[in-house]
Structures are given as C-alpha cells and as structure tokens.
Amino acid sequence: MVVVEQHDKKKSKRFALFLATCDSEFVKKAYGGYFNVFVSSFGDEGEQWDLFRVVDGDFPDEKDLDSYDGFIISGSPHDAFADADWIVKLCSLCEKLDEMKKKVLGICFGHQIITRVKGGKIGRASQGPDMGLRTITIAKDKEKLGLYFGDEVPASLAIVKCHQDQVLELPDSATVLASSEVCQVEMFSIGDHFLCIQGHPEYNKEILFEIVDRVLNMKLMEQEFADKAKSTMETAQPDKDLWQKLCKNFLKGQI
C-alpha cells in the first residue's frame, strides 16, 4: 500500500484508490504512476490517499474500511465479468462497501464491476471497442447531478473513452445519468453512494495517445482505428474541470 498524506490541524479526509491495472512505463516516467494521476485529478490539500494494487492482490483489511470517506475503482485491461481471484475478491469488497453505504466512484472497469455486483449485466460492446474523445449527453432529469454541479448542470460533457466492454443491462436500483449514440449507459448512480462512469475523467490527450500507440504496437488494433482515435483530440479537449467538480463533489459531499 502507498500512502500520500498532507497534514493539517483538522482530521483529514481519507480516500483509497483500487488500482486494477499496471502502470505503463510511460505513466511511471511522466507521472510517477496512475496513482498520482488520480490524486492530482481528485485530491485536495489536507487529505490522505491510499493506494491498493488490487490487480496484484493488494486489498485493505475489512476492519479498516470504515476509516475511509470514499473509494475509487480504476479502469483495467481485464474483463469485469471474468472470475480471476482478485476480481471476485474486489466484487466481494464492493458488496461490503454497498452495505456500509460508502462512497465509491467506479471508472470504466470500476463502472462495470459495480454493475456486476448490483445484479446488472456487462459484456462486449455491440459496436466494438471505443477509443477517443466522445461527447456524452446528460439525462434530462438533472436533479441528481444538480447535487454535484450546483446550479449549472451541463447538457453534455466531453470525456476520453477507452473500452471494449460496457453495461448491457442496468441494475434495477440504478439511475442513468448520461448516455451517447454508441453507449446507452455512460454514467449512472445507485443511491447517494455509487457513481459510475464508463469514460475516463482522469485521462488527458497524452495518456490516451500512449495507450493507442501501445495497443497498436501489440497489433491489437488497426492503424486506421488508431488514427481515428487520435483525430478526435486534434482540436478538442475533455471537460476536465467539470469532471473534476462532479467527481470531487460526489466523493466529498462539498455541495
């Protein structure tokens, strides 16, 4: 476990990242690892952030869960519907967090894991893999998002997408918060404690391009597909500030 802590006079909020992917050489060199990408995106002064590399079997003790204010489950190249030991253990942990009504932000793989835990269905996206900058449409019923955005809820948001699986059937208890032409469930919530996003609010152009190049070099995609993914960010950028506001306010109850 890695800990980042900044002390102040008050008891600091405490969060944990469940990292479900390995750090690429690029991410280690450019950012010091994905953990730093998440903390720089969603962390604030005076907070403690802990890293658990769940992909390597590193999990918190159950007795320590109540000491956390919130959790993030990262993306992953692994299938959320698979039954590897660490994935099954992560599902069990999410069930416990659900019982405790702990705040959990699920991103991409994490979005799908929570779907699985709550009884929904996940699988390969019918339209195939999706990589690049995409615009998703916020649901017309904006009451839920108004709790996190405040008075100005955007009609749409740009986000980096990088996935081949998606939610096929929502859990009964879920509320869809955003959709797109190629994915009906881009974002959903369950109660006030689960917020799930198919895209990557923590990604930027640099990270996306490195993933595209790496997958291309592994011969897992065609050059034309890679070029199209990169072209989406030639003149546009994700709505990083708005995604940070949404995710921070959800995790920390700042509104």
Say whether 210 is catalytic.
no
Provide the 3-class DSSP secondary structure of residue 145.
helix
User: Considering only CA atoms, which of 4, 21, 181 is closest in space to residue 113?
Assistant: 21
Q: How far apart are CA 197 and CA 114, in angstroms?
A: 10
Say whether 200 is catalytic.
yes
Find the catalytic residue in 111, 162, 200, 247. Answer: 200
Find the catalytic residue in 47, 111, 183, 202. Answer: 202
User: Considering only CA atoms, which of 145, 100, 91, 139 is closest in space to residue 118?
Assistant: 91
Biggest CA–CA distance in the chain, Å, is: 54
Q: 13 is written with which tokens? A: 């909020």
User: What number of residues does the chain have?
Assistant: 255
Q: How far apart are CA 174 and CA 191, in angstroms?
A: 8
Say whether 196 is catalytic.
no
Provide the 3-class DSSP secondary structure of residue 40.
helix
248 within 8 A of 43, measured Cβ to Cβ: no
Can you tell me which residue has the tokens 């802990």? 50
Find the catalytic residue in 108, 162, 183, 196. Answer: 108
Catalytic residue list: 108, 200, 202
